[in-house]
Structure 1
Amino acid sequence: MPAGTTRPALILHGGAGARRERNYDREIVHMREVVEAMKARLEAGASALDVVVEATAMLEESGLYVAGRGASPNLAGAYELDASLMEGSTRRAGAVAALQGFKSPITAARAVMDRTPHVMLAGEGAALFAMDQGLEAIGDEAAWFTHAGQGEDNHPPGTLSHGTVGCCVLDTHGVLAAGTSTAGVFGKMPGRVGDTPIPGAGSWADEGAAVSCTGQGEYFIRVAAGAQVGWRVGSGQSLAEATRGVIDQIGALGGDGGLIALDAAGNIADPFNSQGMKRAWLRPDGEIGVEVFGR
């Protein structure tokens, strides 16, 4: 491992809303593979931000989750994808919303962060920017999208069923970063944007904590879920207390979902109030774990 003062840690998720009657063996295997690959990258000295993008892009590319290739269409049959990422030490952030036609929203969000003075680009402007940057386009949508979320809807008709991916990383230099990517809720109205592309709601990273959220995004926006975790940790709460407090707020409003978080000491938290949440982690001691329903 390169010189550094911090043992790396990571936690990722493949979305809340998992149903007990479904089999998630493929997702469990894949999440472990992603964590193992990113462990090697971190031990080789990769930055937290790079690992967040690489891990999230692997989740998007797999087609196993409701993000990237596994996206669900909106009510008009269009695929509008969202993503954001944030680096804790600098508070740099990048995001895209309602992006159409490109394979990796998290890669587009990183390009917004690195190559523009802005934080978020949306809709046609985001697509034009992605094209100008030479990002990989989808081409034949019918052949590309896998519709991974079919059968995972555990909500009544007319409610906000959902799916998202995300990752939080602590690198060997003690820097935290987080990213989130989604196709949004199932059956969403054209132009709907949830929490995922909004730094402070769907993603957050500062010096003390990194957060990625998954669930009914409208509720996560209303409580500034990601940033609230960071503020709570900064005010002295443990990561477990901070994250549980935010999920309890969302539940009290009638929303469901979960979040993953990581603090500067490498502690992880993954509270949720849905049936399950697909997630995997790397602890500072090197332990790798994967879970869908258990705590």
Structure 2
Amino acid sequence: MSHAPALILHGGAGARRERNYDAEVVHMRQVVEAMKARLDAGASALDVAVEAVVMLEDSGLYVAGRGASPNLAGAYELDASLMDGATRKAGAVAALQGFRNPVVAARAVMDRTPHIMLAGEGAALFAHDRGLEPIGDEAAWFTRAGQGEDNHPPGTLSHGTVGCCVLDIQGRLAAATSTAGVFGKMPGRVGDTPIPAAGTWADERTATSCTGQGEYFIRVAAAAQVGWRVEAGQPLAEATQGVIDQIGGMGGDGGLIALDRDGNIAAPFNSQGMKRAWLTTGGQIGVEVFGR
């Protein structure tokens, strides 16, 4: 039985009203259009989630991939994870340095190892052994286009992330997330993005990708909690808003995107804005930054 495909992606919470996001709006629409063609051709949810995140990483427009911000030591430590809802398989890398697309490395961890996460030097050695594309000249590669993205005072957990959730024509769900983490982070800091259940989740009912102050998302198992709430009978909109309200009640901010097996889409956030775009099961494409 064929299903109508759907997807939703984000370019990070923390958007500020004084900034112009025309370039991001155009790019996110381009990504959705490209992924719609892939889904219509029968591509799997997991492949499309990874391909969408690669496009977001490579653009330099978001705080992931080329748009990464350095840590306090001036190093670029990148995180990513993905999850295949049909199999519950997951892969992740944390504090990865020197390689172009952390989400591709996360996919390789899932496909080529018995593990779920590799971190730091071990992740870099694995990426090298798998022949993944290195960055080379960091000064030429990283655009730092995401600098100034946050809406937080100095010394707080300002942030940026990209992610995608997908429903394919076979009814399978998948999610992928990638980030450089919070601005000015301590070397070795790991947030929610590379942690399945915290920053990324996909099962038979839902797919979720989170963006925000990761320390709070970890504390409530935000992405998996959406799935558990839906499994318990909550509609997707209610489940996702409940998680964001819980994070807000603890003093954290950010947002998440989610998609269920019926193609329902949700994107709650409590920051000023969240860059996001989507494809409905009816074939409509939408892009938004500040509207709810």
- Which of 123, 128, 131 lines up with 1:131 in the alignment? 128
Equivalent residue number for residue 198 of structure 1:
195
Aligned-pair CA distance for 1:265: 0.2
1:247 paired with 2:244, answer yes
Percent of matched pairs sharing the same residue: 84
* 2:282 matches 1:288: no
| SS of alignment partner, residue 198 of structure 2 | coil
Distance 2:96 2:220 in 1: 25
Task: Tell me which residue corresponds to 2:145.
Answer: 148
Q: Does 1:19 align with 2:16?
A: yes
Query: For 2:104, what is the secondary structure of its paired residue?
Result: helix
Q: Find out whether 1:263 has 2:255 as its counterpart.
A: no
The aligned residue for residue 57 of structure 2 is 60
Deviations 1:164-205 (A, max 9, x none): 000000000000000000000000000000000000000000
Aligned partners of 1:63 and 1:150: how far apart in 2?
11
Aligned residue pairs: how many?
292
* Counterparts of residues 1-295 of structure 1 (less than 5 Å): 4-295=1-292
Per-residue Cα deviation, 1:141-163 (whole angstroms, up to 9, x for no partner): 00100112222221111100000
1:15: Cα distance to partner? 0.1
Distance in 2, Cα, partners of 1:155 & 1:18: 11
Which secondary structure does the structure 2 equivalent of 1:31 belong to? helix
For residues 235 and 151 of structure 1, what CA distance do their matches in structure 2 show?
40
CA distance in 1, matches of 2:83, 2:67: 23
Which runs of at least 4 in structure 1 moved beyond 4 Å after TM superposition?
Answer: none
What secondary structure does 2:201 align onto? strand
> Per the alignment, in what secondary structure is the counterpart of residue 174 of structure 2?
strand
Once the two structures are superposed, what CA deviation does each residue of 1:6-25 show, in whole Å capped at 9, x if it has no partner?
Answer: 10000000000000000000
Q: Any stretches of 5+ residues in structure 2 without a counterpart? A: none
What amino acid sits opposite 2:151 in the alignment?
A: N
**Amino acid in the other structure paired with 1:276:** G
- Please, which moves more after superposition, 262-271 or 151-160? 151-160
What letter is aligned with 2:142?
A: F
Question: Partners of 1:49 and 1:190 in 2: how far apart?
Answer: 30
| Deviation at residue 266 of structure 1 after TM alignment | 0.2
What is the alpha-carbon distance in structure 1 between the residues aligned to residue 16 and residue 250 of structure 2?
22
Q: C-alpha distance in 1, partners of 2:249/2:221?
A: 15
Which residue identity lines up with residue 174 of structure 1 in the other structure? G
Distance 1:156 1:66 in 2: 18
- Distance (whole Å) between structure 2 residues aligned to residue 148 and residue 94 of structure 1: 27
TM-score of the two chains, using structure 2 as the length reference: 0.99
Output the CA distance in 1 between the equivalents of 2:115 and 2:45: 21
Q: Match of 1:236, as an amino acid? A: G
Letter in 2 for 1:142: A
Amino acid at match of 1:258: G
Quick one: which amino acid aligns to residue 290 of structure 2?
F
Does the 8 Å CA contact 2:150/2:160 hold for their aligned counterparts?
no
Distance 1:124 1:78 in 2: 13
Root-mean-square deviation over aligned CA pairs: 0.5
2:236–2:265 CA contact under 8 A, matched in 1? yes
Q: Which runs of 5+ in 1 are unaligned?
A: none
